[in-house]
Amino acid sequence: MTLSRARQSVSPGHDRGSADSTVVLIDNDGRLSAAASGRPRIWDHAIAARRSLSLDARLAAGMSPDSDRLMAVRACKLVRPSTRKQLATDWDRLLQTARTRRPGSLVLMMCRDRIIAAEPEIRQLQDALRAPLPVPARGVAMANRLLVDGTGPVHNRRSDIDLRGALQEAIRELDPTAQLWQAPAR
Protein backbone atom coordinates (compact mmCIF):
# COMPACT_ATOMS: atom_id res chain seq x y z
CA MET A 1 0.00 0.00 0.00
CA THR A 2 1.29 3.43 -0.93
CA LEU A 3 1.09 5.87 1.96
CA SER A 4 1.88 8.95 -0.10
CA ARG A 5 -1.60 9.13 -1.61
CA ALA A 6 -5.10 8.89 -0.26
CA ARG A 7 -6.71 5.45 -0.49
CA GLN A 8 -10.27 4.32 -0.22
CA SER A 9 -11.65 1.20 1.35
CA VAL A 10 -15.28 0.34 0.94
CA SER A 11 -16.94 -2.17 3.20
CA PRO A 12 -17.21 -5.57 1.49
CA GLY A 13 -20.54 -6.10 -0.19
CA HIS A 14 -21.16 -2.39 -0.74
CA ASP A 15 -20.94 -0.30 -3.86
CA ARG A 16 -18.73 2.77 -3.81
CA GLY A 17 -21.81 4.89 -4.23
CA SER A 18 -24.13 3.20 -1.75
CA ALA A 19 -25.45 5.36 1.05
CA ASP A 20 -24.31 3.00 3.80
CA SER A 21 -20.71 2.52 2.68
CA THR A 22 -17.79 3.74 4.75
CA VAL A 23 -14.79 5.34 3.13
CA VAL A 24 -11.46 5.25 4.95
CA LEU A 25 -8.82 7.69 3.73
CA ILE A 26 -5.13 7.99 4.54
CA ASP A 27 -3.74 11.42 3.71
CA ASN A 28 -0.18 12.35 2.75
CA ASP A 29 0.74 12.86 6.40
CA GLY A 30 -0.37 9.33 7.26
CA ARG A 31 -3.45 10.47 9.16
CA LEU A 32 -6.46 8.20 8.92
CA SER A 33 -9.77 9.88 8.33
CA ALA A 34 -13.15 8.37 7.64
CA ALA A 35 -16.55 9.34 6.43
CA ALA A 36 -19.73 7.42 5.76
CA SER A 37 -21.81 9.09 3.09
CA GLY A 38 -19.94 12.29 3.78
CA ARG A 39 -18.19 13.50 6.90
CA PRO A 40 -19.06 12.14 10.34
CA ARG A 41 -21.81 14.07 12.02
CA ILE A 42 -20.74 16.35 14.85
CA TRP A 43 -22.47 14.20 17.46
CA ASP A 44 -20.70 11.07 16.20
CA HIS A 45 -17.52 12.29 17.88
CA ALA A 46 -19.30 12.79 21.21
CA ILE A 47 -21.01 9.40 21.00
CA ALA A 48 -17.75 7.66 20.04
CA ALA A 49 -15.97 9.33 22.97
CA ARG A 50 -18.70 8.21 25.36
CA ARG A 51 -18.57 4.65 24.02
CA SER A 52 -14.78 4.55 23.69
CA LEU A 53 -14.27 1.56 25.99
CA SER A 54 -16.70 -0.67 24.11
CA LEU A 55 -15.51 0.58 20.71
CA ASP A 56 -11.88 -0.04 21.74
CA ALA A 57 -12.80 -3.56 22.86
CA ARG A 58 -14.36 -4.27 19.46
CA LEU A 59 -11.37 -2.79 17.60
CA ALA A 60 -8.91 -4.71 19.79
CA ALA A 61 -10.82 -7.91 19.07
CA GLY A 62 -10.26 -7.36 15.35
CA MET A 63 -13.49 -5.76 14.20
CA SER A 64 -12.91 -3.60 11.15
CA PRO A 65 -12.88 0.17 11.73
CA ASP A 66 -15.08 0.59 8.69
CA SER A 67 -17.82 -1.68 10.05
CA ASP A 68 -19.87 1.33 11.16
CA ARG A 69 -19.66 5.09 11.51
CA LEU A 70 -18.79 5.17 15.24
CA MET A 71 -16.05 2.57 14.79
CA ALA A 72 -14.58 4.70 11.99
CA VAL A 73 -14.72 7.85 14.13
CA ARG A 74 -13.07 6.09 17.08
CA ALA A 75 -10.41 4.54 14.84
CA CYS A 76 -9.60 7.98 13.43
CA LYS A 77 -9.16 9.35 16.93
CA LEU A 78 -6.95 6.45 18.02
CA VAL A 79 -4.54 6.60 15.09
CA ARG A 80 -3.90 10.33 15.31
CA PRO A 81 -0.25 11.00 16.16
CA SER A 82 -1.29 13.21 19.09
CA THR A 83 -3.48 10.46 20.58
CA ARG A 84 -0.73 7.88 20.13
CA LYS A 85 1.89 10.16 21.74
CA GLN A 86 -0.42 10.81 24.69
CA LEU A 87 -0.99 7.08 25.12
CA ALA A 88 2.78 6.47 25.09
CA THR A 89 3.15 9.16 27.76
CA ASP A 90 0.40 7.53 29.85
CA TRP A 91 2.32 4.24 29.74
CA ASP A 92 5.43 6.10 30.90
CA ARG A 93 3.50 7.55 33.84
CA LEU A 94 2.30 4.08 34.74
CA LEU A 95 5.89 2.80 34.79
CA GLN A 96 7.03 5.73 36.93
CA THR A 97 4.16 5.21 39.36
CA ALA A 98 4.82 1.48 39.58
CA ARG A 99 8.46 2.16 40.45
CA THR A 100 7.84 4.90 43.02
CA ARG A 101 4.64 3.95 44.85
CA ARG A 102 4.91 1.82 47.93
CA PRO A 103 3.07 -1.50 47.92
CA GLY A 104 -0.39 -1.16 49.41
CA SER A 105 -0.78 2.46 48.37
CA LEU A 106 -4.43 3.28 47.78
CA VAL A 107 -3.65 6.05 45.31
CA LEU A 108 -3.75 3.67 42.38
CA MET A 109 -4.30 -0.05 42.50
CA MET A 110 -1.93 -1.74 40.10
CA CYS A 111 0.10 -4.89 39.75
CA ARG A 112 3.47 -3.23 40.28
CA ASP A 113 5.51 -6.39 39.86
CA ARG A 114 3.88 -7.23 36.51
CA ILE A 115 4.35 -3.69 35.23
CA ILE A 116 8.01 -3.50 36.24
CA ALA A 117 8.70 -6.97 34.78
CA ALA A 118 7.09 -5.85 31.51
CA GLU A 119 9.15 -2.64 31.21
CA PRO A 120 11.05 -3.80 28.07
CA GLU A 121 7.75 -4.53 26.31
CA ILE A 122 6.24 -1.28 27.53
CA ARG A 123 9.22 0.63 26.08
CA GLN A 124 8.79 -1.18 22.75
CA LEU A 125 5.08 -0.34 22.81
CA GLN A 126 5.88 3.32 23.44
CA ASP A 127 8.32 3.36 20.51
CA ALA A 128 5.68 1.81 18.25
CA LEU A 129 3.06 4.33 19.37
CA ARG A 130 5.43 7.23 18.71
CA ALA A 131 6.43 5.97 15.25
CA PRO A 132 5.79 8.54 12.49
CA LEU A 133 4.13 6.03 10.13
CA PRO A 134 0.42 5.22 10.28
CA VAL A 135 -0.45 2.18 12.35
CA PRO A 136 -3.53 -0.03 12.53
CA ALA A 137 -6.24 1.16 14.90
CA ARG A 138 -6.40 -2.34 16.40
CA GLY A 139 -2.92 -2.03 17.93
CA VAL A 140 -3.67 1.38 19.46
CA ALA A 141 -6.98 0.09 20.82
CA MET A 142 -5.18 -2.90 22.37
CA ALA A 143 -2.58 -0.64 24.00
CA ASN A 144 -5.27 1.68 25.36
CA ARG A 145 -7.45 -1.15 26.60
CA LEU A 146 -4.56 -2.74 28.51
CA LEU A 147 -3.89 0.57 30.21
CA VAL A 148 -7.45 1.51 31.22
CA ASP A 149 -9.23 -1.81 31.74
CA GLY A 150 -9.57 -2.31 35.48
CA THR A 151 -10.17 -6.03 34.99
CA GLY A 152 -6.97 -6.49 32.95
CA PRO A 153 -3.45 -7.52 33.96
CA VAL A 154 -2.25 -3.99 34.78
CA HIS A 155 -4.78 -3.37 37.55
CA ASN A 156 -6.22 -6.74 38.55
CA ARG A 157 -4.11 -9.38 40.23
CA ARG A 158 -6.77 -12.00 39.40
CA SER A 159 -6.53 -11.39 35.66
CA ASP A 160 -5.42 -14.49 33.76
CA ILE A 161 -3.99 -12.37 30.96
CA ASP A 162 -0.21 -12.36 30.71
CA LEU A 163 0.78 -8.67 30.56
CA ARG A 164 4.01 -9.26 28.66
CA GLY A 165 2.26 -11.46 26.12
CA ALA A 166 -0.57 -8.96 25.67
CA LEU A 167 1.93 -6.14 25.17
CA GLN A 168 3.84 -8.19 22.59
CA GLU A 169 0.59 -8.81 20.72
CA ALA A 170 -0.22 -5.08 20.75
CA ILE A 171 3.30 -4.30 19.49
CA ARG A 172 2.81 -6.75 16.59
CA GLU A 173 -0.50 -5.07 15.76
CA LEU A 174 1.20 -1.64 15.73
CA ASP A 175 3.50 -2.68 12.91
CA PRO A 176 3.09 -0.03 10.16
CA THR A 177 3.53 -2.72 7.51
CA ALA A 178 0.48 -4.61 8.81
CA GLN A 179 -2.93 -4.06 7.30
CA LEU A 180 -4.37 -0.77 8.51
CA TRP A 181 -7.78 -2.41 8.57
CA GLN A 182 -9.22 -5.74 7.65
CA ALA A 183 -12.50 -6.98 6.36
CA PRO A 184 -15.02 -7.85 9.07
CA ALA A 185 -15.32 -11.54 9.93
CA ARG A 186 -18.31 -13.17 8.31
pLDDT tens by residue, 154-180? 999 999 999 999 999 999 999 988 665
User: Residue 42: what pLDDT?
Assistant: 82
CA–CA dist 25, 138 (Å, integer): 16
The whole-model pTM stands at 0.74
What is the arithmetic mean of pLDDT over 127-135? 94
Would you say 138 and 174 are in contact if contact means Cβ atoms under 8 Å apart? no
pLDDT attached to residue 101: 65
CB contact set of 134 (below 8 Å; sequence gap of 6+): 3, 26, 30, 31, 32, 79, 176, 180
- SS3 readout for 4-22: CCCCCCCCCCCCCCCCCCE
Cβ contact 38:50 at 8 Å: no
Answer whether 24's CB lies under 8 Å from 181's CB: yes
Model confidence over 37-58: pLDDT tens digits? 457 788 888 898 899 999 999 9
